[in-house]
Structure 1
Amino acid sequence: MKTLAVLFCSLFCMLSQGQLVQQDVTVKKTLKLMGTRFEITVVAPNEEIGYIDIDQAVSEIERIEKMISSWDEASETTKIIKNAGIKPVKVSPELFRLIERAIKISEITDGAFDITYASMDNIWKFDGSMDQMPSEEDIQKSIEKIGYKKIVLDPDEQTVFLTEPGMRIGFGAIGKGYAADKAKELLTSKQVKGGIINASGDLTTWGTKATGEQWLVGIANPLSKDKVFSWLPVVESSVATSGNYEKYITLNGKKYSHIIDPRTGYPTTGINSVSVFAKQAELCDALATAVFIMGRDTGIHMINQIDGVEVVVVDSENKIHRSSGIIFDTNQ
Structure 2
Amino acid sequence: MFRYFFIVLAVTTISNIGFSQQIYKRTLTLMGSRFDITVVATEKIKAHQYIDQAVEEISRIEKLISSWDKSSQTSLINTNAGIRAVTVDKELFDLIHRAIQLSKLTDGAFDISYASMDQIWKFDNSMTTMPTEQDINASVARVGYHNIIMDKEKSTVYLTKKGMKIGFGAIGKGYAADKAKDLLVKQGVIAGIINASGDMNTWGNQPDGSEWKVAITNPMNKNNAFALLPVVNSAVVTSGNYEKYVVLEGKRYTHIIDPRTGYPSTGIISVTVFAPKAELADALATSVFVMGIETGVNRINQLKGVECIIIDDQGDIHTSNHITIHQ
The TM-score normalised by the length of structure 1 is 0.92
Q: Deviations over 1:187-220 (max 9, x none)?
A: 0001101011000011000001122110011221
Residue 328 of structure 1 and its aligned partner are, at CA, apart by 3.0
Deviation of 1:327 (Å): 2.1
4+ residue segments displaced more than 6 Å: none
Q: Percent identity?
A: 58
Superposition pairs of residues 68-79 of structure 1, within 5 angstroms = 68-79=65-76
1:192 alignment counterpart: 189
Residue 247 of structure 2, aligned match among 250, 254, 260? 250
Q: Which of residues 225, 241, 246 is equivalent to 1:228?
A: 225
Report the TM-score, using the length of structure 2 for normalisation.
0.94
Which structure 2 residues correspond to residues 1-332 of structure 1 after superposition, within 5 A?
Answer: 23-329=20-326, 331=327
* Higher RCO (C-alpha 8 Å, min separation 6): 2
Paired with 2:285 and 2:144, the residues of 1 have a C-alpha distance of: 19
CA RMSD of aligned residues (A): 1.0
2: distance between equivalents of 1:21 and 1:219? 31
Unaligned runs of 5+ in 1: 1-19
User: Which structure 2 segments of 5+ residues have no match?
Assistant: 1-16
- Secondary structure of the 1:226 match is coil
- Look up the SS of the partner of 2:256 in the other structure: coil
Where 2:223 maps in the other structure, the secondary structure is strand
| 1:205-263 Cα distance to aligned partner (Å, 9 max, x none) | 00011221100112211021221111111000001111112111111121110000000
Measured against aligned partners, the alpha-carbon deviations of 1:2-21 in whole angstroms (never above 9, x if no partner) come to xxxxxxxxxxxxxxxxxx97
Asked whether the equivalents of residues 19 and 207 of structure 2 are also in contact (C-alpha less than 8 Å), the reply is no
Which amino acid counterpart does residue 303 of structure 1 have in structure 2?
A: I
Amino acid at match of 2:175: Y
Of 132-141 and 47-56, the range deviating more from structure 2 = 47-56
User: Quick check: 90-99 or 243-252, which moved more?
Assistant: 243-252
Aligned mates of 2:238, 2:231 — CA distance in 1: 14
Distance of 1:201 and 1:22 partners within structure 2: 29
Amino acid at match of 1:224: N
Q: How many residues of Structure 1 are paired with residues of Structure 2 in the alignment? A: 311
Shift of 1:174: 0.4
> Secondary structure of the equivalent of 1:50?
helix
Partners of 2:325 and 2:44 lie apart in 1 by 35
